[in-house]
């Protein structure tokens, strides 16, 4: 598969999210016809469910939740520091190492304050300290990129994930208003002109 513009291609996507999204896309790639779609969509949704179950049960390795972010300014220049910048400030405070513009910093989202922890931190990170709500939302957003064309929204996935009411309702006849329709006006025009000229019969 060649993928562009979605979470699995972004450097700041945790590996766990990227791998889950790629598995969902692989499920959809098995649909040879529109009739195959319902079963393939159910398979993709099951991948999403299983990933959530792994997170809740503590079976996702910490390194799979690490986010890599690039620092774009000097740390003192941030008026409202990004999560990556906040992690870089922790590294500076704890080790004296300064991340400069263009450099990468790795971190995980944590419950409470501070809400991020630099991966290079000298403090031990425990899996039960991870902000599972934040990671669920990151996964729901990535799953929505895959399922949105079939009428499944980011908000629906977040609601299902947080309430555990995970049921996939498919309406393959739904019209998604922000997806541009493709009309074959040129092809029709060429055929019509050819027919008038005697090039098409029957």
CB 136 within 8 A of CB 55: yes
- Average pLDDT (6-30) is 93
Give the span between the Cα atoms of 85 and 97, in whole angstroms. 13
The pLDDT score that the predictor gives to residue 59 is: 94
Which tens digits make up the pLDDT trace of 90-111? 999 888 889 999 999 999 999 9
Which tens digits make up the pLDDT trace of 131-189? 999 999 999 999 999 998 888 888 888 888 877 655 556 555 544 455 455 444 444 44
For every residue of 112-172, which 3-state class applies, written as one string?
CCCCEEECCCCCCCCHHHECHHHHHHHHHHHHHHHHHHHCCCHHHHHHHHHHCCCCCCCCC
Q: Pick the residue with more confidence: 41 or 196?
A: 41
Find the helix or strand (DSSP H, E) in which 104 lies: strand 104-109
Go through the domains of the chain in sequence order and give each one's CATH number.
65-129 (1.10.132.60)
Which tens digits make up the pLDDT trace of 54-81? 999 999 999 999 999 999 989 988 898 9
Question: What's the pTM?
Answer: 0.77
The pLDDT score that the predictor gives to residue 198 is: 38
Give the span between the Cα atoms of 57 and 59, in whole angstroms. 6
Residue 27 burial (CB count, 10 A) = 20
């Amino acid at each position: 598969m060649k993928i562009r513009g979605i979470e699995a291609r972004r450097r700041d996507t945790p590996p766990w999210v990227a791998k889950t999204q790629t598995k969902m896309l692989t499920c959809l790639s098995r649909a040879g016809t529109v009739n195959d779609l319902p079963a393939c969509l159910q398979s993709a949704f099951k991948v999403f469910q299983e990933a959530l179950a792994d997170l809740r049960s503590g079976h996702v390795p910490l390194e799979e939740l690490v986010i890599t972010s690039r620092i774009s300014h000097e740390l003192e220049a941030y008026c409202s520091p990004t999560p990556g910048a906040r992690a870089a400030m922790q590294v500076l405070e704890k080790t004296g190492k300064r991340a400069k513009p263009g450099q990468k910093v790795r971190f995980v989202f944590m419950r409470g304050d501070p809400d991020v922890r630099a991966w290079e931190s000298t403090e031990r990170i425990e899996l039960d300290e991870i902000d599972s709500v934040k990671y669920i939302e990151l996964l729901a957003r990535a799953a929505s990129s895959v399922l949105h064309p079939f009428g499944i929204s980011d908000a629906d996935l977040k609601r299902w994930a947080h309430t555990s009411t995970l049921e996939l309702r498919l309406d393959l006849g739904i019209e998604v208003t922000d997806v541009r329709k493709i009309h074959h006006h040129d092809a029709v025009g060429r055929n019509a002109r050819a027919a008038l000229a005697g090039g098409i019969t029957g």
